[in-house]
Amino acid sequence: MACVTETPQPSVMYVVVVAVYFIMLLFLSVEKTAAASIKIEEQEHDRVKSLPGQPPVGFKQYAGYVTVNETHGRALFYWFFEATSEPQNKPLLLWLNGGPGCSSIGFGAAEELGPFFPKKNNRELKFNKHTWNKAANLLFLESPVGVGFSYTNTSSNIPQLGDTNTARDSHIFLVNWFKRFPQFRDNEFYIAGESYAGHYVPQLAELIFDDNKKASKEDHLNLKGFIIGNALLDDETDQKGMIDYAWGHAVISDQLYNNLTKCNFSNAHLSDDCNNALIKYFKVYNIIDMYSLYAPTCNENGTNARNFHGSPVRGTRPHLFSNFKEWHKMPAGYDPCASDYTEVYMNRPDVQHALHANVTNIPYPWTHCSNNITFWSDAPTSILPIIKKLVSGGLRVWVYSGDTDGRIPVTSTRYTLNKLGLKTIQEWTPWYTNNKQVGGWTIEYDGLMFVTIRGAGHQVPTFKPREALQLIKHFLTNKKLPSQAF
């Protein structure tokens, strides 16, 4: 008799388990597809098809709000430009301006390193051929709330602003922004900024650095380093460097310099003689531009159009010098009236509509620097401990300085970096531009590169756009600037 072998039948339980497994896979696939669809919708909602008066370009741009605190109704405004080529392979660079209380869109995007600059006629934008999105995907953030188009629905948030709140909200913004733009999550990420961003950038980098150690894969940020220019870093050396620089550049007399050198600026209260000497010192910068000693001032209609932005912000660093209103004067720029053009353009309703900005009808006009921020709750006297920590942690750190800036001069930065006590790897060396001119000098420390830009004021990309683009390209690729003409 032939032997018949029966094929064993799967148990009912096995069938059920397999069915559930495949249903779960299908559910997860649908869920991921739905999530991806939501992200695409969010991106498209923020897509800026074209701005009024904008020249045609081949890259995409986005702008809008990211909520950082739903309970208080805090939302930060951003403007993002994809790289001009291969955005998927280029790093992402976040740019922050300082103040505190000044707009990264008003200065950084519209007058320094973004692709579009408002023109004098207030109707058109001109393309910046040295835009930094030739080197990176470029993200500008108006921070903290109360600056530019960024807002809070809780008025008590404004008096509580300070370094800590600013860093925390900026970090939350980034985590949420990457959720909206997940295609850039794996790109190398860097932070850049100038002036009071000498506080903002290292503090935000430290927060990310520490959080990355415990963050989920979704919240992990691929931070590789940061670069800061003409940066406020240390009270003692920033103040001393300002006085020494002014004397060395024939801005103040020998007598006034000698009087100032007798003052102890680490004291909370100055003597009458020292206070009067400082008044005379700052008075000079009512007639020349502190931010660029050799640049003209704006004299349209017979008056200097570059005024102070509101009242001094109490509580900022350095505590002593920031009590003088001249410390808070706005920079003028290569075109000393450029900020006037920007302010008119950014307040146009059609421009705000195109940027998805001012959706809550903020009850005040857009300005470069906020008049609402009059108090700063916290700011350390020195950022050097943070820089030391992050250098030791392996982040790439570059510091640069335009050498005609009297606000946070190259003298201050050199004093400051000397306090770090880092080993010198390569001494003071000239670097060259692609037209065979000396662009400035570099000194390489163990873990930190310092670069000067010859002939540049406080806003280096404004005064030396070609050199600034060369600088950021070398920073992002971790290459030294050329020490020989080529």
* Other C-beta atoms lying within 10 Å of the C-beta of residue 196: 26
Question: Does the active-site annotation cover 195?
Answer: yes
* Other C-beta atoms lying within 10 Å of the C-beta of residue 254: 8
Which pair of structure tokens corresponds to residue 459? 């806003």
> Smallest Cα–Cα separation from 313: which of 238, 241, 267, 379?
379
Which is catalytic among the residues 195, 292, 322, 412? 195
Contact of 448 with 397, CB cutoff 8 Å: yes
Which is catalytic among the residues 235, 238, 340, 405? 405
* Other C-beta atoms lying within 10 Å of the C-beta of residue 248: 12
Q: Is the peptide bond before 144 cis (omega within 30 degrees of 0)?
A: yes
Question: Does the active-site annotation cover 458?
Answer: yes
Taking CA atoms, 394 is separated from 155, 216, 390, 429, in Å, by 40, 21, 6, 24
Question: Does the active-site annotation cover 220?
Answer: no
> Smallest Cα–Cα separation from 461: which of 23, 176, 108?
108
Which is catalytic among the residues 171, 328, 368, 458? 458
Q: How far apart are CA 102 and CA 113, in angstroms?
A: 16
- The catalytic residues are 195, 405, 458
